[in-house]
Amino acid sequence: MTTRPAHHDPTEPSFTEEDLSRLAGARSFARGQNYLSDVAELSAAEDRITATVYGSEPYHVVLLLAGPRLTGSCDCPYGQDGHFCKHCVAVGLTALDRPDDLPRLRAETTRRAQTLDNWLNSLDRSQLRELLREQLATDAEFHRRLELRAAAAGSDTLAVRAHILRLLDTRPFEQYGVVDRRDAAGYAAQLTEAAAAIRALAATEQDAEAVTLAETAIKVIGEATERIDDSDGELSDAAQDMAQAHLEVCRLLLPDPVRTAEWLAAHLLGDWSHLPELDPAAYREILGEPGWAELRRLAHEAHRSHPSGWTERYVLESVLKADGRVDELVTALSTELEPDGSTHLAIALELDRAGRRDEAVTWAERGLSDTETAPPRDRRLVEFLAHHYEEVGRLTDLVRLRRDDFRHHGTLDTYRSLRTACRTAHCWSAERPRALALLRADATGEHTGRRPHTGPVLIEALLDDGDAETAWETAPSVPTTLAQWVRLADAVREQHPADALPVYLRALTPLKQQTGHPAYERMTELLLSARACHRALGTEPEFTRYLADLRADQKRKRNLMRRLDEHGL
């Protein structure tokens, strides 16, 4: 996923070369750079950029800017497999190279759309009908969709049912019994159309057939899930739309509450209950007291038959939560406590929401005790108790809790939390040496398996404390990563430029073999830091020779050269 800059100029592309490289991969990104001269018919709207790329044959590319995400589609073979291909890269790079053209292209797109809209508004009913008939004669999909809407509007229940069942059929999209990712979107579109038809039928034909059709659709979707590649999430979205349609038609038509409760329980407890997801609480008013009592009975019965089942517990929890039956919920949850403490936390949260804080704290403390010898525990237990201890002034308990959590995990986050707690309790000066000693033991391997792959937490903790000198002195004795050495060099550069300089030069070496915006940006930062060291040492001619050699070696990387020029390097 690509995140837009925080202060993005709406007249410029909302993505960067780095985004394109990450989406395409290094190979496709490099190939896309060779297609810049083949991009034609560039067009832009507020949420998309389109173009044709003339490769071995013309390919149509769409870059979609949906919220904070950039996605791309292309009708080349590689693009049809769902990849962000070289043609997408070429269009993206072209847009980045022509930011001043985008406002004009967007304005042109808006003008064309307005022209079309004005023309359609100028047509009378007979002209519009003729236009529709022309489209119906050539577009089978459009023809089918209008037939369905006409049948629903005309209360032709049998025709609507036949159409909907045809829309639910996955076979036209299947190959060897499965629906490929490329075809999942087409099937999802049919599900959305079926949901719209069910809503229309309920609005015009006031009987339970619309409810039955929605239930049939939900069953078919659930059974079809295992055969469909929903990597893009479009089937999930369409399934939830169908679930919403079922909820809406139930509210409108008020089907038999007990039968609806039986159907809902069967779906929630069935093999396919994961898609679409139904919330029992959303049906509370539809079911009324008789239906809700039946749903509660069925949920209890299922949980008694299979108390360790995740689905059975979830359904019972959902029903009891909607009822506000906290004691029953606690009893149900406590029959099978998860070893990581997550069930203890769920009970504590429910009790806390019911205003029973003392009981909630007792359950959370029990969770810590029960998971003492079986980490990793659910650390939300720690946060729940820490908030409570601080709130009521139990600072000794707060420090003990944070110390225990730090000893279990030994991360920078738990170190920071311990430091904050100790400062609140005015005991950090006594606690800090013990905490650092533990991190040193981790860093030197005395506690095997504790040190993260990102380098010793000891260095991070010392830097976070603002103790750069100690961190710099400590680094040679522990397996410090190159990235940590660079951060250390940044912290001590003014005091120790001669020591920091070799770190920057060492970090530059692997970057010389890389391409792309992130590598070029990092090289520029390191060169600026190296130059600052040389200036402090009075050896700028040496840096000038190093930079000249580097530019000669990297001269084919035009974007790097441009970036160095921009920074006076």
- 497 and 552 assigned to the same domain: yes
Within a domain: 419: yes
Are 8 and 507 in contact by the 8 Å Cβ rule? The answer is no
What is the structure's pLDDT at 154? 67
Judgement on whether residues 401 and 454 belong to the same structural domain of the protein? yes
411-419 long-range contacts (CB < 8 A, ≥24 apart) are: 411/452, 411/457, 412/457, 412/460, 412/461, 412/464, 415/439, 415/457, 415/461, 415/464, 416/464, 417/386, 419/465
Task: Please report where in the chains the tokens 């406002």 appear, as a residue.
Answer: 103
What is the predicted pLDDT for the residue at 374? 67
Q: 80 is written with which tokens?
A: 């049809």
Between the alpha carbon of residue 500 and those of residues 24, 62, 175, 482, 539, the distances in Å are 36, 47, 61, 12, 14
DSSP for 123-141 reads: S-HHHHHHHHHHHHHH-HH
Stretches in the chain below the pLDDT threshold 50: 1-9, 448-453
Q: Judge if the upstream peptide bond of residue 68 is cis by omega within 30 degrees of 0.
A: no
Q: Per the confidence metrics, is the pTM higher than 0.85? A: no
Q: pLDDT tens digits, residue range 479-516?
A: 888 989 999 999 999 999 999 999 999 999 999 988 88
Residue pair 444/424 in contact (Cβ under 8 Å)? The answer is: no
Residues 419 and 449 in one domain: yes
240-252 burial, b at 16+ Cβ within 10 Å, e below that, comes to bbbbbbbbbbbee
pLDDT of residue 451: 45
What pLDDT does residue 68 have? 64
Q: Residues 144, 237: one domain?
A: yes
Q: Are residues 465 and 535 in the same domain?
A: no
Note whether residue 323 is domain-resident.
no
Q: Identify whether residues 156 and 191 lie together within a single domain.
A: yes
Same domain assignment for residues 451 and 560: no
User: CA–CA separation, 429 vs 431, rounded Å?
Assistant: 6
Distance CA 346, CA 427 (A): 32
Residue 448 forms part of a structural domain = yes
- One domain, residues 440 and 551: no
Is there a domain that residue 372 lies in?
no
Q: Domain containing 411: what range? A: 393-480
Q: Which of 119, 149, 167 represents a domain boundary (last residue)? A: 119
* Domain shared by 73 and 167, yes or no: no
Task: Determine the Cα angle at 403 with ends 458 and 400, to 5°.
Answer: 165
CB pairs under 8 A, 24+ apart, for 565-569? 567/524, 567/527, 567/528, 569/524, 569/527, 569/528, 569/531
List, as one string, the DSSP characters of 14-73.
S--HHHHHHHH-HHHHHHHGGGGGGEEEEEE-SSEEEEEEESSSEEEEEEEEETTEEEEE
Residue length of the chain: 569
Structure tokens at 394: 């139990």
Query: Residue 542 domain-assigned?
Result: yes
Number of domains in the chain: 4
- Picking from 199, 220, 255, the residue at the C-terminal end of a domain is 255
Task: Tell me what pLDDT residue 324 has.
Answer: 85
Q: Are residues 148 and 241 in the same domain?
A: yes
Distance CA 447, CA 433 (A): 17
Q: DSSP class of residue 276?
A: S
Structure tokens at 432: 């800090």
Q: Are both 113 and 157 inside the same structural domain?
A: no
Backbone φ and ψ for 538, nearest 5 degrees, come out as 75, 30
Distance of alpha carbon 175 from the chain centroid:
30
Predicted local confidence at residue 452, as pLDDT: 45
- How far is it, in rounded angstroms, from Cα 231 to Cα 208? 34
